Amino acid sequence: MASLWGGRFEKDMDDIVKEFNASIGFDKRMYNEDIDGSIAHVTMLAEQGIVTLAEAEQIVTGLEKIREKIKSGEIVFTVDDEDIHMGIESKLIAEIGDVGKKLHTARSRNDQCQVDGRMYLKKEIREIVHRLCYLESVILEKAEKYADSITVGFTHMQHAQPITLGFVFMAYFQMFRRDIERLMDAYERMNLCPLGACALAGTTLPTNRARTAELLGFDAPTENAMDSVSDRDYSLEFLSDASISMMHLSRWAEEFVWWNSQEFSYIAIDDSYCTGSSIMPQKKNPDMAELLRGKVGRVYGDLMQLLTVMKGTPLAYNKDFQEDKESLFDAVDTWKASIQIFANMLDKTEFRMDQIEKQFAKGFLNATDIAEHFAKQGIPFREAHSIVGQMVKACEQKDCEFEDLTEEELQAIDSRVTRESLGDISIKACVDARVSFGGTAPSEVRRQIKVGEAWLADIK
């Protein structure tokens, strides 16, 4: 098949070059966006008198026929089509004849692939935000269910302070809230239409770029034609957002792996999200959590791939930019699937409170609360910190808890400390007292849940 751009060439491309050069194998997923862009473009051309209304109607009818043929599988693209833009245009010309050759007036593949990419990514961002909102709704339900349930808070993988499970859920809620907000910010920045920028310098024809932007649902046309065709910041920003969000999923997946182990036994993951061993019949492995933890590497790689492609590319368009799509598509597919799998797994996971409560006697979880209690009694906090540290040492030597220290042992540490001065140092009392804004007390967690619910309702 002769190429649509081959007028000045005496030879056709070598077969191996065709294979290497073609992007149709992956960019064909944007056929709807490409057809939508072409319909908007020819509509504008007719309104501007660049083509006749009859020609525009014939082109639009032909494009819709091609859309249906692609959808039904009647049209199968090959490397001879080169890319989705040339593939559809060549099919259009075959469908309606020479009038189809007028479609490409006042545009280039350089701006065409950009408008396709932005429209495709806008659609996928809406879907990803939808899935993240579903994940947030699951988190809120779990947070409410476990708002009063106490667990162990860690720093440095050491027992630190008692917290509520609802508090843990709301910590992750904030991470995914930021993910959603970042995507919405990126969406706003990418919502400018590059169609009509042409190869790099615009056109001498009397086009109306504001009209095509309007027809395609963009806020406005892009400002500079040269930047329009060479910009991939929107893809990079999306990949960066995807990488951060996948990191959040990976962090929680890591905790699922810990919590599922016999050493923790904090959770019971539903069988439908686990696998067994081909040799060890007793095994129930948290494979989905482990796989989610590993999937982040793909998305990090997608970001680094495109950053590397863009490095050192001069203005304006370069063939390097064709390498922007496979990493983008991979990140979209990976992120969408990961969100859905994790949300479903989380929904079907229950916490084993009987096992968690066995951990409360380890690590002196109420040590900080005792120090703060002493500070309330007028002891400078740094001195209170030292006193409680000595109490920990005494307990370790005696192999007991704070409550087991005698009056004499407390007085030996510091004369200001008595059994009565310790107050209520139960784990529940410690948690209930942490009512500072953003704290772990059940009352404060429920406030966070209400704020989260209001925010999520507004997003939806």
Count of beta carbons in the 10 Å neighbourhood of residue 382: 10
**Dihedral of the alpha carbons of 378, 380, 384, 385, in degrees to the nearest 10:** 150
Distance CA 367, CA 331 (A): 45
Which position has the token pair 């009397």? 206
Query: H-helix or E-strand containing 403?
Result: none
Token digits for 373?
Answer: 């209690």
**Dihedral of the alpha carbons of 47, 120, 305, 187, in degrees to the nearest 10:** 90
Is residue 276 within 8 Å of residue 259, measured between CB atoms? no
Of 32, 23, 131, 160, nearest to 80 (Cα)?
A: 23
Token digits for 115?
Answer: 């408008």
Token digits for 384?
Answer: 């209170």
Q: Which residues, in sequence order, are CB contacts of 263 under 8 Å at separation 6+? A: none
Cα–Cα distances in angstroms (integers) from residue 435 to residues 432, 438, 442, in the given order: 7, 8, 8
Distance CA 196, CA 307 (A): 26
Catalytic annotation, residues: 156, 277
Q: Is the dihedral of CA 371, 375, 378, 379 positive or negative?
A: positive
Count of beta carbons in the 10 Å neighbourhood of residue 175: 16
Distance CA 44, CA 219 (A): 16
Distance CA 247, CA 296 (A): 6
Distance CA 452, CA 458 (A): 10
Angle (CA) 68 219 47, round 5°: 60
Is residue 143 within 8 Å of residue 445, measured between CB atoms? yes
Distance CA 110, CA 67 (A): 22
**Dihedral of the alpha carbons of 395, 396, 399, 405, in degrees to the nearest 10:** -10
